[in-house]
């Protein structure tokens, strides 16, 4: 006993109509109410298309006959062909008159997924440029069967899923019917089946085989972290699709001596105190194996933390290799060790350096002379904390209470 006859009424057939009668009725009504012929009948066209989609599926029809529309409200009930897709599936192609009118969907093969690969590149290679070779595993069309999977005529549409690659499962939860999709177990989602004896020996019916591909990646001077290099059409191949792209993403390695910000380079130089005060030279080994001999002019005093620039010695610009950024040098001063000079040398130093700053007046204040000592602040802090704990025990407010033992 059919619970609801709404979908049968929309198709103008009896509840016991056969599959061929349903298809014939849908064809007749779809031609009558298609929006290309009858622009005001868009809703009617959708309704009859939905009704046919449900009743043409044996499992959905069984659920509808037993529970009506409510039984189809489970998960996945709304996912199926669009009315236009269903119409094209039955009538084969574009618009209503086959001419690819405005309502037809784009035809042709879809594009496969792009594949992204990270390529770690040193700062030296980004400075000088390089050609790297990258080995990839990709799927390519089997040449033995030309991507068919088997001998001519051996490939059949899967009858379990009607070529869709998925199977509808109904599950009753209380008064409701839950509808779910799962990959068809008979064709593993391919929509096609091939007998074992007819499968291609090269790909075992998979239509594609794995192939190792070597790509030559040109690292241009000045490329930056995160920049992409695209190899069009080098992605996985499969029958009926356009191969996707292989996208190489530059990943800049951290450098032990240089830091990069855009086209500028940053370097930390450690010089001795004499060079900082009296001038001199120091060497920077650059990324292209050149040695930069940097001059500090006499009288140019360098203080700890000072930053100076060497113009035009930064990174080359991308696609502008002769237009370089700057090299910024941050200075650290290497002071001499304690007791490095006797009194005579210190006297000479005092005569050479600017005179000392006079002490501020301390008249009328109690003056106490102290001496500096070298300490580790962390160790001194821990010792102070431990000492405080001992003092509290000595100056405690009575003996501590211990747990009684039985």
- Is pTM beyond 0.85 here? no
Which tens digits make up the pLDDT trace of 341-381? 999 998 998 898 888 888 888 887 888 889 988 888 888 77
Domains of the chain: 5-70 (1.10.287.110), 115-154+195-252 (2.60.260.20), 258-334 (2.60.260.20)
Which tens digits make up the pLDDT trace of 316-330? 999 999 999 999 999
Q: Distance between CA 245 and CA 229 in Å, rounded?
A: 10
Phi, psi of 200 (to 5 degrees): -65, 135
**Distance (Å) of CA 394 to CA 390, 397, 401:** 6, 9, 15
Q: Distance between CA 280 and CA 301 in Å, rounded?
A: 11
pLDDT grade for 101, boundaries at 50, 70 and 90: very low
Which tens digits make up the pLDDT trace of 165-192? 887 776 767 777 666 778 888 888 888 8
Q: Distance between CA 263 and CA 325 in Å, rounded?
A: 5
Those residues with Cβ within 8 angstroms of residue 200's Cβ, 6 or more apart along the chain or in another chain? 142, 144, 145, 148, 149, 150, 151, 207
Beta bridge partner(s), residue 265: 260, 327
């Amino acid at each position: 006993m059919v619970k609801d006859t709404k979908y049968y009424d929309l198709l103008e057939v009896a509840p016991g109509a056969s599959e061929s009668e349903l298809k014939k009725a849908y064809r007749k009504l779809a031609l009558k109410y298609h929006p290309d012929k009858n622009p005001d009948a868009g809703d009617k066209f959708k309704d009859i298309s939905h009704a046919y989609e449900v009743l043409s599926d044996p499992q959905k029809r069984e659920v509808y006959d037993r529970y009506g529309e409510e039984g189809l409200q489970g998960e996945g009930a709304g996912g199926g062909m669009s009315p236009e897709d269903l119409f094209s599936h039955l009538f084969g192609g574009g618009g209503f008159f086959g001419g690819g009118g405005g309502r037809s969907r784009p035809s042709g093969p879809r594009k496969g997924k792009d594949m992204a690969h990270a390529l770690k590149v040193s700062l030296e290679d980004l400075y000088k440029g390089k050609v790297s070779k990258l080995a990839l595993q990709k799927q390519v069309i089997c040449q033995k069967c030309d991507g068919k999977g088997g001998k001519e005529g051996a490939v059949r549409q899967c009858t379990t899923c009607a070529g869709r690659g998925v199977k509808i499962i109904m599950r009753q939860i209380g008064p409701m019917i839950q509808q779910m999709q799962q990959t068809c177990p008979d064709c593993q989602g391919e929509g096609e089946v091939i007998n074992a004896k007819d499968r291609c020996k090269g790909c075992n019916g998979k239509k594609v085989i794995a192939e190792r591909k070597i790509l030559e990646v040109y690292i241009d001077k000045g490329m930056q972290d995160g920049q992409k290099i695209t190899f069009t059409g080098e992605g996985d191949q499969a029958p009926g699709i356009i191969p996707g792209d292989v996208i190489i993403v530059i990943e800049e390695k951290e450098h032990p001596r240089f830091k990069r910000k855009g086209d500028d380079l940053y370097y930390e130089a450690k010089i001795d105190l004499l060079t900082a005060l009296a001038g001199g030279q120091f060497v920077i080994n650059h990324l292209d194996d050149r040695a930069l001999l940097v001059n500090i002019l006499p009288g140019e005093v360098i203080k700890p933390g000072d930053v100076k620039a060497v113009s035009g010695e930064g990174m080359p610009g991308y696609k502008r290799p002769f237009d370089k950024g700057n090299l910024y040098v941050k200075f650290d001063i290497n002071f001499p060790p304690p007791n490095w000079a006797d009194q005579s040398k210190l006297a000479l130093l005092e005569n050479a350096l600017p005179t000392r700053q006079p002490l501020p007046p301390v008249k009328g204040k109690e003056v106490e002379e102290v001496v500096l000592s070298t300490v580790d602040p962390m160790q001194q802090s821990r010792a102070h904390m431990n000492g405080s704990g001992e003092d509290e025990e000595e100056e405690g407010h009575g003996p501590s209470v211990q747990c009684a033992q039985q």
